Amino acid sequence: MVDQAFADPSLAALYDSLNPWGPGDDFYLGLLREAGSVLDIGCGTGQLLRRARAEGHPGRLVGLDPAAAMLVQARRARPDVEWVLGDVRVRHWRAEFDLVVMTGHAFQELVADEEIRVCLRAARTALRDGGRFVFETRNPGARPWERWTPDRVHEITAPDGAPVRVWHETLGTGPEHGRVRFTETYAGPRWPAPRSVHGVLRFLDAVALEGFLAKAGLTVAAQYGDWNRGPLTPTAPEIITVARPA
């Protein structure tokens, strides 16, 4: 199921403003520069692939996302990238890519065990020999959901110039079976009242991630705790994983 915040065109148009280019994007862009062919699973509006092509990346760039509203933004900005609507079950790539990525914590949108297994098997199958699958997930040891409170408001400007306020609120006291439920609320002149959408994210620690990867035929080549390639400590903000075919 596509997250409502990604499926609604009016909300999808705000995604890039809510998620401006940052250190994580620089990290992935460096990997793209070294890869001849790239598959971006859960590409959203395609910021990463769009930037790579704008820089002159000459190879094959493929963005996959299940939200049509997000891909509308991607196609409009960069029609010379291959954009595919759907998830990993709609297209079967076999040994076609040097690099497969999942950015923007897209991996955490895989809530059920079977969703994770299907995605990882597809990523493994899509990789050429020597290729890499790189993704990140928020480290549950850092307990980021405790900072998702209504008093932490993001103020952005919509494409039409209208101001928009956005905040998050965790539902419950934290993870239940590794899943955190939350609301994302938008307020601005385009809506008569604040509009809330619901979401669920899956949190896995490094040991659990390694287990899922191993069953998919992938092995951990490196893991980092931040975008500067710092060590993965118990409370590091991220679990950034570089995996290779086993």
Q: How far apart are CA 246 and CA 242, in angstroms?
A: 12
Query: Left (φ > 0), alpha (ψ -120 to 50) or beta: where does 56 sit?
Result: left
**What is the pTM (predicted TM-score) of this model?**
0.95
Q: Which amino acid is at 64?
A: L
- Digits of tens for pLDDT over the chain (246 positions)? 556 666 788 888 899 999 999 999 999 999 999 999 999 999 999 999 999 999 999 999 999 999 999 999 999 999 999 999 999 999 999 999 999 999 999 999 999 999 999 999 999 999 999 999 999 999 999 999 999 999 999 999 998 899 999 999 999 988 999 999 999 999 999 889 999 999 999 999 999 999 999 999 999 999 999 999 999 999 999 999 999 999
